[in-house]
Amino acid sequence: MKYKYTTEAEIVRIRNLERSRETDRVVIETPLTIFFNGSEFITLLCSPDNLDCLAVGFLRSEGLITGAADIEQIDLDYQKKIVYIKTVSINGLVDKLYGKRMITSGCGKGSLFFSALDSLQSKRIESPLQVGAGEIFNLVSVMQEKAQLFKSTGGVHSAALAEKGEILYYNEDIGRHNAVDKIVGQCILKNIELGDKILLSSGRVSSEIVIKGAKLGLPLIVSRSAPTSLAVELARETGLTLVGFARGKRLNVYSHDYRII
Amino acid sequence: MKYKYTTEAEIVRIRNLERSRETDRVVIETPLTIFFNGSEFITLLCSPDNLDCLAVGFLRSEGLITGAADIEQIDLDYQKKIVYIKTVSINGLVDKLYGKRMITSGCGKGSLFFSALDSLQSKRIESPLQVGAGEIFNLVSVMQEKAQLFKSTGGVHSAALAEKGEILYYNEDIGRHNAVDKIVGQCILKNIELGDKILLSSGRVSSEIVIKGAKLGLPLIVSRSAPTSLAVELARETGLTLVGFARGKRLNVYSHDYRII
């Protein structure tokens, strides 16, 4: 299926006070509603591709599922932009997490933010992965070439998963988090282990991106942009290697630099 | 009170495969927890200034308060990064909204996203504001000069409120939405009417930013970046003028261009 990422809009362009009516391309933003075990759970605003992956990745990142084994059924109504996800058991872990979520107002933040921190502290990333700086320069440049949508509309972020110098999955989305969650969802649905992979992102790395990565055991996150203080702190505590400002033949390593050789 | 926006971090910098240990500046990200009428409501991740404004602006944007008259008390514990907000009545509107919010999982999305759309359709922005393109070019350039934090760390967005060629409020935050919510909160706490003002943003304009603006009756949003399709659609429906890619002596008008003269 070929998705449409951009649409045309009639605009008025002003250049040096000269005015003209033109047709321009605008990046599409669409609401995606996730039904979880029969209840409407959340509506995300996103780019209109890989919606099933986004839903699965979002639920994994929020801790509502732990992997493919938790999912009994996924139905995507592409026209209505609804994904229905049913888990194998509505008792046990999933139920407990869901209960917790409602109490904390449901944004994966609140107490849940701090309890996510607590649980990460007990689970250190020990992956022996090591990657050459030259390999990272190359991956970032390949990702840049793929980022055509960004070039044409200036409105999306990209994320990619890489291994042994190759990009395995690549996604673009109007949301930084969505682009990463689509990668997470693809890995879950294809049973890809993340313990020896590299996550590449075009966007800033905030604490939430590091938490997503650390929960999945990802050893290395590489971004073209800046990390925040909390992202650096969490990366150091969880054993994750965080690389920022990877552009051209330069990069900064903010934590556990032994993985970059 | 002078806030610290950045902190130092020891990093490893790799340039053309040469490696050096250096000290670099990293933008601070801090969790801010909002207690609403005695209950823990949400934790936002943000830059550490204007935390009371952020809390008030967030509650307004999410529809939990309608203005300063709803607020009985605000207490900020800056050390613990907690804001306590108590409303004048926990009955009436606030209570109803809060109840609704919990049902829809609390992200200001879900059904609430669509009901926000419904309510906007009945409330068109009729402000007679008109602004010269030259005035906008000038405001954007003044905002750019202020954006020192972004220049030094590459990690924040800025938002500003302007009137008659002057910037009234200016904020920076690691979150696009937070920067706007800080402006909203400042206006509420200082009883500033928004019906004749301009909101300027460095970041992309998604539907959520237009919804925030339209709820407040803002007639004009100007961004240095791209808008999404849904943002353009909502701006057209609500009567809001949306300007994107305002850089140097150029800009694009996506809706209701009669306000740009």
* Predicted local confidence at residue B101, as pLDDT: 38
* Predicted local confidence at residue B100, as pLDDT: 40
Give chain A positions within 8 Å (CB) of B46.
none
Distance from CA of A192 to the nearest CA of B (A): 30
Selecting among A46, A53, A107, A187, the annotated active-site residue is: A107
What is the Cα–Cα distance from B211 to B71, expressed in whole angstroms?
22
Cβ contact A154–B26 (<8 Å): no
Report whether pLDDT(A176) > 50: yes
Cβ contact B226–A153 (<8 Å): yes
**Using CB atoms, which residue from B29, B40, B105 is nearest to A231?**
B29
Give chain A positions within 8 Å (CB) of B111.
40, 43
Suggest the residue from B12, B250, B251, B256 to mutate for an interface test with chain A (most A CBs closer than 10 A): B12
Q: Looking at the DSSP assignment, which residues form a beta bridge with residue B15?
A: A250, B18
Residue of B nearest to A34 (CA): B110
What is the Cα–Cα distance from A106 to A183, expressed in whole angstroms?
23
What is the Cα–Cα distance from A179 to A183, expressed in whole angstroms?
7
Long-range contacts of the stretch B186-189 (C-beta < 8 A, 24+): B186/B50, B186/B53, B186/B57, B186/B161, B187/B161, B187/B216, B188/B56, B188/B57, B188/B60, B188/B65, B188/B67, B188/B68, B189/B52, B189/B53, B189/B56, B189/B68
List the single range of A113-122, A179-188, A225-234, B201-210 with lowest mean pLDDT: A113-122
| pLDDT above 90 as % of chain A | 65
Give chain A positions within 8 Å (CB) of B54.
none
* Predicted local confidence at residue A43, as pLDDT: 87
Give chain B positions within 8 Å (CB) of A133.
14, 17
Q: What is the mean pLDDT of chain A?
A: 86
Report whether pLDDT(A96) > 80: no
pTM of this prediction?
0.87
Give pLDDT tens digits for A37-48. 998 888 899 999
Cβ contact B11–A253 (<8 Å): yes
Residue of A nearest to B107 (CA): A107
Q: Does an H or E element contain A100, and which?
A: helix A92-103
Enter the tokens of residue B102. Answer: 């919990």
Residues in chain B: 261
List the single range of A90-94, A138-142, A209-213, B127-131 with lowest mean pLDDT: A90-94
Give pLDDT tens digits for B57-76. 999 988 888 889 999 999 99
Give pLDDT tens digits for A18-66. 999 999 999 999 999 999 999 888 889 999 999 999 999 999 988 888 8
* Predicted local confidence at residue B86, as pLDDT: 94
Suggest the residue from B204, B210, B234 to mutate for an interface test with chain A (most A CBs closer than 10 A): B204
* Predicted local confidence at residue A121, as pLDDT: 61
Q: Among this protein's residues, is B46 annotated catalytic?
A: no
- What's the whole-number mean pLDDT along residues A197-217? 92
A with B: how many residue pairs have Cβ under 8 Å apart? 188
Give chain A positions within 8 Å (CB) of B17.
133-134, 249
Cβ contact A155–B226 (<8 Å): yes
| Chain CA centroid to CA A207, Å | 13
What is the Cα–Cα distance from B127 to B195, expressed in whole angstroms?
6
Using pLDDT thresholds of 50, 70 and 90, give the confidence band for residue A219.
very high
Q: Is B51-68+93-261 assigned to CATH 3.10.20.440? A: no
Report whether pLDDT(A151) > 80: no
Closest CA to A230 of A255, A247, A251, A252: A255
Residues of chain B with pLDDT under 70: 1-3, 90-122, 149-154
Give the ranges where B108-147 is alpha helix by DSSP (H).
110-121, 133-146
Report whether pLDDT(A132) > 70: yes
Domain boundaries, chain A: 133-259
Give pLDDT tens digits for B78-132. 999 999 999 997 554 444 444 443 333 333 344 556 666 666 665 789 999 999 9
Give chain A positions within 8 Å (CB) of B31.
113-114, 230
Suggest the residue from A4, A8, A26 to mutate for an interface test with chain B (most B CBs closer than 10 A): A26
Cβ contact B9–A106 (<8 Å): no
* Predicted local confidence at residue B116, as pLDDT: 63
* Predicted local confidence at residue B244, as pLDDT: 96
Give chain B positions within 8 Å (CB) of A154.
204, 225-226, 245
- What's the whole-number mean pLDDT along residues A215-224? 94
The Cβ of residue B118 has, within 10 Å, a number of other Cβ atoms equal to 8
Residue of A nearest to B153 (CA): A226
**Using CB atoms, which residue from B17, B33, B45 is nearest to A133?**
B17
Report whether pLDDT(A90) > 80: no
* Predicted local confidence at residue A113, as pLDDT: 61
Task: Give the ipTM of the model, two decimals please.
Answer: 0.84
CATH code, residues A133-259: 3.40.140.10
**Using CB atoms, which residue from B107, B207, B225 is nearest to A154?**
B225
